[in-house]
Copies of this chain bind each other. A is one copy, B any other.
């Protein structure tokens, strides 16, 4: 008889964002913008002292294209329901995701930790989330664990019987983890982050789901360390994507 231990089924509340490669620099923004006003002259280095002022100007006035001449690739591991929201971002994003048609999916399932607010309040589109009661927390953990384990055991049972991976996987819940490579640039990151993080300083407030907010903040942090001037200007002007 099958059991959960047999498959080493794991539960996790972590969300992984790992920079795989990066070609990012505030200088790239500066140089790209200077092509407009200098043409050929842009290739001669002219010092960095005016960089901050120019980047602020571009951000404030929403000149977006100079922020596109760079790229960063992340490896991201998160549950499918996060990827479903993530992949709605079409422009300036490239994806390669783990495939349930080509491999046996691993038994790792998302289970919110105790800090995850469970109850929504307020009106549509501007929900506030509040802590769950002890009973709600226990019910959630029990139910998620039950279905995760049961579905995975049945998934493997179907694979063992010779049913194809692409068919057997239909049984798996959206809290199963997947992984992907994502490549984007400073402009597409700012667009993503402006919509997928919640921040009281935003000129246009967003109300994203907690889990994608966490992924967004981690992307913002890793990207921001490579482009501190651009990141500071993004915050200064209200987290509006240029």
Contacts and interface: CB of A to CB of B under 8 A. Distances in A.
Contact of A183 (B37, B40, B69): B69
A171 B79 CA distance: 11
A230 interface: no
Contact of A158 (B73, B83, B143): B143
Nearest to A143: B154
Given A23-B71, A43-B75, A75-B43, A119 B162 contact: yes
A173 B105 CA distance: 14
B154 A102 contact: no
A185 interface: yes
Interface of A: 18, 20-23, 28, 31-33, 35-40, 42-43, 57, 61-62, 65-66, 68-71, 73, 75, 77, 79-81, 83-84, 87-88, 90-91, 93-103, 105-106, 110, 112, 116, 118-120, 124-125, 127, 129, 132-133, 135-136, 139-140, 143-144, 146-147, 150-151, 154, 157-158, 161-175, 178-181, 183, 185, 195, 204-205, 209
